[in-house]
Structure formats: C-alpha cells, structure tokens
Amino acid sequence: MIPIIIVIVSFLLDGILTNYLPFLVNQLSLFTPLLTLVSIFIIYPFFRKQEKKYYWIAFIIGFLYDLFYTNLLFLNGVLFLAIAIFTKWIYKNYEITFIRNILYIAIIIILYESFYALILWIFQMVPITIPKVIYKIIHSLILNILYTEIIYLIMKWIPKKYKKISIN
C-alpha cells in the first residue's frame, strides 16, 4: 500500500508542478519535476521478491505518464521500465544510504533525460541541442533530489510493523 501511495502522490505532484512552474528554456525555473520517475527508484525495496510485478508497475506508470503528460505513447513506458531495471541493478549491487541516494537519483535523471532527448532527436519530433539537454538535466536535479531525500526520510520513520521489508 505504501508504494502505491508514493506513486500516486508523485504522479499528482508532477501534474500540479508542471502547471505552475515555467517549463521553457531560459526561464527562471530551477525546478523541473520528474517525481514519478523518482518514485520508481524509491519503491523498489517493496518489490524485492516480486520483481515482475515491479517491472509491470514501472511500465504502467510510464504509460500513464505518457497518456497524461507527454502524449508519446509507450515512450515513457519503455524508459520507466529501463530505469526500473537499472534501479534493480543499483539495489542489488550497492548499498542505499542518505548521501548515495543523491548520486543514484542524479544518474537516473541524467540517463532518463539523455535517452529521452536522444529518442526525440532521432525521430526529429522536437529540435534538440546539447545545451538544452544539459539545461534540463541541471534544472531537474534540484527538486527531484530534494523530493527523493524527503521520501527516503519518511520511509525511514515508518514504524517497522507497517513495513514488510527493511529500507537501508
């Protein structure tokens, strides 16, 4: 139940924040939300023994993200699934700590934005330049790292009787 709440809150916050924060290049926004993507990383420990379910949830969340926010069917579904696979690899091979969360989320955001821009560039959907991609990555990091750390702390404070697994 906790991962579903995290995903729903992240999904709704993404929608709310994208309506109120300027999104165009060279505007004074330091916050580009990718909170739903961050939630994919955060909820993995709840699905350690149910990885197929985790992958399906990641794909469905990406598909819904496409339907509501980007109108590029299956693109974010595939990208969220790839991020879910990468997240599994991170959790299997490295310990997750408060400080390392910052590094992992930064890597995930860089990968997501880079692949997203690459796909848009390959199919000539939007004119993409490297400075625009770097601008978007930098402006995505601040809000999303802050959100990750807040959710991580909230998950640490949840009493153990409500957790089915332990969060590092």
pTM given for the model: 0.85
Give ∠ CA 106-145-25 in degrees, rounded to 5. Answer: 75
Could you tell me if 31 and 142 are in contact, meaning their C-beta atoms sit under 8 angstroms apart?
A: yes
Range of the domain at 14: 2-162
On whether residue 168 sits in a domain, the answer given is: no
pLDDT band for 156, please (50, 70, 90 cuts). confident
On whether residue 40 sits in a domain, the answer given is: yes
List pLDDT tens digits, range 56-88: 999 999 999 999 888 788 899 999 999 999 999
Cα→Cα distances 51→6, 32, 85, 124, 125, Å: 18, 29, 9, 34, 33
Assess whether pLDDT exceeds 50 at residue 28: no
**Mean pLDDT for the stretch of residues 141-164:** 79
On whether residue 29 sits in a domain, the answer given is: yes
On whether residue 143 sits in a domain, the answer given is: yes
> Which uninterrupted H or E stretch holds 58?
helix 51-65
Could you tell me if 40 and 85 are in contact, meaning their C-beta atoms sit under 8 angstroms apart?
A: no
On whether residue 167 sits in a domain, the answer given is: no
Could you tell me if 78 and 115 are in contact, meaning their C-beta atoms sit under 8 angstroms apart?
A: no
On whether residue 74 sits in a domain, the answer given is: yes
Mean pLDDT of the chain: 85
> Which uninterrupted H or E stretch holds 80?
helix 75-93
E-state strands within 27-146: none
Please give the tally of structural domains in the chain: 1
Assess whether pLDDT exceeds 90 at residue 140: no
On whether residue 44 sits in a domain, the answer given is: yes
On whether residue 69 sits in a domain, the answer given is: yes
